[in-house]
Structure 1
């Protein structure tokens, strides 16, 4: 590659806006990856990368120690030591490799009830108020007695105090299924919460203009000369467990049919939990619900181009959003877009001299159903479409985000309660599942780059309303 690798966001934007240079970068499969790695390395070097890596490694050790003490098998997914992306995969025990998180926690309250029930539907049927009418009650009764024994000896988790404590194996299975439809949870940093409030350490880093990591300065020093002291500034992000409930009304006839009820419940509640978690992690206000990353304090919002029509996305928007991402996050960041944005992205064109061509070049022949899907990447990074963000033209309709900088706090207990009275006239049982969870960005403000540019950098970049 003959192109000079840029070492600042401004220089990167200049390259990406140059059609001839972009054509050369995209001319080979390896070209874009080489360019991104070169840019990340150049900017990291300009920001005194060695000191940065050492301090980040210490932060990783702090978080890893916390996870270990909390009984979690997960590792922090944030690559704070500059290692390859392959090192980001957490250790997973007893779960499919695609889950990406170890959802089972051996210190959760629900572990006291593990091993009693075969699946979640059996647990619900055994605790149903009409369980004695079930044909298999002879098999379920000993299991229910064991559950009551554990709960009565454990503490407050008894039916009279709000519901049955869900065994940890079943809780982790619910969350595992929810990962399949979630946008944020599979890619975020998940922290087990053994109490209602958990403080997480963070580096109070807002500017690299004269120091990094909130005050660390490197000095060139003569041999045997005295050393000048500098110190990093640390803060904390506090996760407070918020209550999320899922509710369903189940006909009593369905409860008596074990296979049918298992299919209904196993498919309904995990998707409901995933749906409303995702909405809060994306757009939540932080008041009685998690704080979403859209419109959060750490978010950088790229203004629309001069004269840009409303409800549009143009190539210049994409280029400028990419240039505002933390360079060390370029290998992890993903695009999260409203499905309304698809026509704009699919028809977006790149000008090259007097000609040009589409940004996405898809092969719409063959494939399943006679058509291949368009390549779901922009500048080499994956694109995820969702209906959970705002409509086209509003802030958050397209975001470029490193979700490893988003913290999710999982309160390690889940409760199920049922009511025979609310829908008594309809011969239905009302079920309610209560989960405690919180979410918040790890950083609290964008970072001023070392070159003093007014274009701050962040792991959360969005296109402003237009």
Structure 2
């Protein structure tokens, strides 16, 4: 029951049976003849395409092979096994392709298909970004609004009808149930599946968020612990002291000093004006716009704030971190230049524990200086970054083994922050994980446009209060290092 069974063997019938070959012998398919009582007719399993063609071209052999579905299945199975044994490259190719497919699935940013028991009422797989948070406020809207077409069609200010009104009421109930922790700015809560997809796309072009430490915020203000460390001269981690003692000696108490950083969600608003035709005639085009342009804009304005924000009504950027250290220009260094000594000294000011994950962040204007900087040796010298001489090929995009990220969001060449050595593991991003969208057909009524805004709440703060004095040496160390102005 519940499976496939061979039909009972009838007296006088012929059945193909597979006889295992001896080492270095071809496999054989045998035919049992009940009338012959033990006699067999042996058919050799082909070893290659030519032998297969020969076997199938022989009427007697072909008749025995296709005598029943079972005999045909046994023949094909043994032929396939023989090919795999004789050609190890087939197994190697299968293994390599399988590993490649699993690697693609496990790689960070792909959308993964999850199929869990009772996850969806209809049993269908649910697509989720890895940035999806099932506890986020907008998660309750995912079932009804699985894409931008459904969501924007429902919340557009010009939408009419019972369906649109019912959808807006549902969003309002969830938004109100979320409580007073979200200020009443108007607009509709964006479903979590769409919010997480915005973040997934934005990560592909962001400088800071993709490398920083992201802290989910369940409330508008979240205190986050930090170790108040300023010096490693006599203690580490803000007050831990180690002592060597004799056996049975008295232990000396020590305790680290903990501080805290308060992450307070700031409001980032994206605004655009969209022709009403996109809502009424081509909502699919608008969905593509929301899936591409808005994530890019989100990454852009976040990066600007995480880089140079002043902390007043906006994040505090790493360039303005109290813990940041500046490397002074060289004696006699020309204005607007970068010399190899600047790079070497900036590297030496990085926390040793951070070197393995630190990256260079440089304004694109610095490229000519980086590409032509040379190491002076007596009266001569040679280029130190691009060394092939003929200019062929791409630049290495690493300096002293660490990646270089070019951006237009850093300071321009010659000013402090035009090239920085940063460990973003020491930068905190507080993510409120709630976005709102609102449209208005009245503000641009005369232009037949819909004004649209998307509101995100986020904060960014350096995770260290000050530079650290090393155990030995006079130069302070920091995860945020920049070259001072060369004027």
Q: Which residue of 2 aligns with 1:315?
A: 340
Q: 1:300 aligns with which of 305, 308, 325?
A: 325
CA spacing shift, 1:347–1:222, aligned 2, 3 Å: same
1:118 shift after superposition: 2.7
Q: 2:255 aligns with which of 231, 234, 240?
A: 231
Q: 1:385 aligns with which of 385, 396, 406?
A: 406
Question: Partners of 2:412 and 2:153 in 1: how far apart?
Answer: 41
Question: Partners of 2:285 and 2:349 in 1: how far apart?
Answer: 51
Deviations 1:373-418 (A, max 9, x none): 2110000000001111121111110000000100000012111111
Q: Which residue of 1 aligns with 2:133?
A: 105
1:91 and 1:102 in contact (8 A); partners too: no
Question: Partners of 1:151 and 1:230 in 2: how far apart?
Answer: 48
Question: Partners of 2:375 and 2:396 in 1: how far apart?
Answer: 16
The more displaced of 121-130 and 141-150 is 141-150
Q: Which residue of 2 aligns with 1:41?
A: none
Q: Which residue of 2 aligns with 1:456?
A: 476
2:306 and 2:316 in contact (8 A); partners too: yes
CA spacing shift, 1:242–1:91, aligned 2, 3 Å: farther
1:275 shift after superposition: 0.7
Question: Partners of 1:93 and 1:200 in 2: how far apart?
Answer: 27
SS for the counterpart of 2:319 is coil
Question: Partners of 1:149 and 1:352 in 2: how far apart?
Answer: 72
1:354 shift after superposition: 5.1
Q: Which residue of 2 aligns with 1:336?
A: 361
CA spacing shift, 1:159–1:447, aligned 2, 3 Å: closer
Q: 1:183 aligns with which of 207, 220, 232?
A: 207
The more displaced of 184-193 and 229-238 is 229-238
Deviations 1:143-199 (A, max 9, x none): 556545544665579999601011111111111111111110000000000111111
User: What is the TM-score with the length of structure 2 in the denominator?
Assistant: 0.70
Question: Partners of 2:327 and 2:183 in 1: how far apart?
Answer: 51
- The reply to whether residue 396 of structure 1 matches residue 417 of structure 2 is yes
Any unmatched runs of 5+ in structure 1?
1-89
Q: 1:286 aligns with which of 303, 311, 325?
A: 311
- The reply to whether residue 437 of structure 1 matches residue 458 of structure 2 is yes
**Greater relative CO, 1 or 2 (CA 8 Å, sep 6+):** 1
Q: 1:212 aligns with which of 230, 236, 241?
A: 236
2:274 and 2:452 in contact (8 A); partners too: yes
Q: Which residue of 1 aligns with 2:7?
A: none
1:303 and 1:464 in contact (8 A); partners too: yes
Q: Which residue of 1 aligns with 2:96?
A: none
Q: Which residue of 1 aligns with 2:55?
A: none
Greater helix proportion: 1
Question: Partners of 1:233 and 1:187 in 2: how far apart?
Answer: 27
SS for the counterpart of 2:461 is strand
The more displaced of 208-217 and 147-156 is 147-156
Q: Which residue of 1 aligns with 2:284?
A: 259
Any unmatched runs of 5+ in structure 2?
1-105, 113-128
Question: Based on CA coordinates, which of the two structures has the bigger radius of gyration?
Answer: 2
User: What is the TM-score with the length of structure 1 in the denominator?
Assistant: 0.73
